Structures are given as C-alpha cells and as structure tokens.
C-alpha cells in the first residue's frame, strides 16, 4: 500500500476534527486531548484493583466493586470522569459506535500491557433481547470485538450457544438507588454449564461499573457451574468519587 503523502495527511486533518476539542486532526481524539486524559499516567490503574487493598499503603480503595468483588481481577481504563462521561454515553445512547473502537484501543494500550495472564475467551455483558432491539447493538460487545481483534482472543457467541445469556429484562440501573440496583440484578443471567466448564480463565467486558452488582450476579451464576474458573473483569469506566493518586 502506498504511504500517505504529507499533503494527503494535511487534507484529511482539514476535514476531520477531534471529537473532544474540535481541532483539526486525522485522529478521533487529538494527541493533546489524549495526553490530557487523567487515566494515562494514573499508576494505580496499572494493576488489578482487587489487590490494591491487600498492600500496606495509603491507597485504600473504598468501592463496592472492590470490597464485595465476586471475581478475581478488576481492570479499568479510568474513573468515570471526562472524557469518558462524554464518550461512553455517546456510544451507548447516541449511536456513536466508532467510540467503542477508540475506547478498546486505549484499554489495550494503557492497561493490557501491564497484565501477565490473559484470558482464554472474552464475554461481553449480555443485553436482554428487548433492550438489544431498542438500541440496535450491545455497546459491551462492540468494545469486546475490538479487544478480540487486537489481542487475538476469541469472543463469546451471541446466539443460543452463548456461554452466558441475560434471561430476565431489568430496569436500567441508572434509574435506581443502591438497594433497588441490588434487587434488580438478582438471578438475571443463565449459563451454559458444559461450554463454560472447558475454560480456566475468562474475562467479562463492560462499559461502566457503578456498584458491581451486574458483574457480581453474572459471576455468581458462572461459579455455580464452574467454581474452578478464574474471572477477570475489564471495564472502561468506574464510577467513584475519589481514587488515590498513585
């Protein structure tokens, strides 16, 4: 393939804008905006957050997703602040599907490189078929597809042979308080016991984690059929007020 000339690159930049600052660039997010994101240099996020509180430091992470985790590893791209508070809702509710590629590529660049043990299969948190018809896509699945392409890890099927399914329609978690969220997510998922048993390490992918209730219910369903399995969780954003600086 013939490399782009400097003139071609310049012309592309004239017709394309950074989705955050609207400055001309050939990238979805310009280099300046990307460098300004708080998650790139955040050293605490370069590790499994489930182990943060096991070390004797000042970096105690007081969050339900960590304190009540029913999984082995939690990796997040960043705290649910800007620009994630713009990019994720745009992906989830406004049809900006290409943002899934951007977010997944950031996750590979800034998180996966610090991992020592990669999973055998990627499982996006499934949507109920009614919500899928309303939205037209599963944003977690879009993120998982890009992760699968870059990491060469297979992604779970979404047909009747899927490892996990969402069997009950639930209200949006964003509309509920903490107790309602907990009740809303009980016994939501079903698992294919024969298919899941062949794996030793899986990863669950989602866009945003608030209390961890959705992920925990999914993990409990998996552990009932495969107690031997290691479960990692990869999320783009974590809703938390304060996170230690390093």
What's the pLDDT score for residue 99? 95
Percent with pLDDT over 90 in the chain: 59
Interatomic CA distance for residues 127 and 239, integer angstroms: 20
- Structure token pair of residue 2: 């013939």
pLDDT tens digits, one per residue of 86-128: 999 999 999 999 999 999 999 999 999 999 999 999 999 998 8
State the residue for tokens 């998982």: 144
State the residue for tokens 């996006």: 124
What's the pLDDT score for residue 1? 47
- Per the document, the length of the chain is 246
Interatomic CA distance for residues 156 and 204, integer angstroms: 10
Query: 227 to each of 71, 194, 198, how far by Cα in Å?
Result: 11, 13, 12
What's the pLDDT score for residue 28? 86
What's the pLDDT score for residue 86? 95
Q: List % helix, strand, coil for the chain (3-state, nearest 5).
A: 40, 15, 45
**89: which residues sit within 8 A by CB, 6+ positions away?**
none
Residue 90 host element (H or E)? helix 84-93
What's the pLDDT score for residue 151? 98
pLDDT tens digits, one per residue of 154-180: 999 877 789 999 987 766 655 656 666
Residues of the chain below pLDDT 70: 1-15, 55-60, 170-186, 241-246
What's the pLDDT score for residue 173? 55
């Amino acid at each position: 393939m013939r490399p782009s000339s400097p003139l071609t690159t310049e012309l592309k930049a004239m017709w394309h804008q950074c989705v955050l600052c609207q400055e001309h660039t050939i990238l979805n997010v310009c280099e300046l905006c990307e460098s300004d994101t708080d998650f790139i240099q955040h050293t605490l996020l370069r590790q499994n957050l489930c182990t943060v509180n096991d070390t004797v430091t000042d970096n105690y992470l007081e969050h339900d997703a960590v304190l009540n985790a029913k999984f082995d590893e939690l990796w997040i791209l960043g705290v649910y602040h800007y620009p994630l508070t713009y990019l994720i809702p745009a992906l989830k509710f406004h049809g900006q599907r290409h943002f899934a590629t951007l977010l997944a590529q950031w996750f590979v660049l800034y998180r996966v490189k610090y991992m020592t043990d990669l999973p055998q299969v990627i499982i996006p948190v499934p949507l109920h078929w009614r919500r899928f018809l309303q939205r037209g896509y599963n944003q977690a699945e879009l993120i998982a597809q890009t992760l699968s392409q870059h990491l060469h890890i297979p992604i779970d099927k979404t047909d009747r042979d899927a490892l996990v399914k969402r069997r009950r329609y639930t209200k949006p978690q964003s509309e509920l308080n903490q107790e309602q969220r907990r009740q809303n997510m009980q016994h939501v998922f079903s698992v294919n016991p024969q298919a899941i048993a062949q794996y030793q390490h899986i990863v669950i992918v989602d866009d945003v984690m608030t209390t961890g209730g959705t992920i925990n219910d999914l993990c409990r369903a998996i552990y009932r059929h495969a107690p031997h399995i290691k479960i990692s969780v990869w999320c783009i954003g974590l809703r938390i007020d304060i996170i230690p600086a390093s």
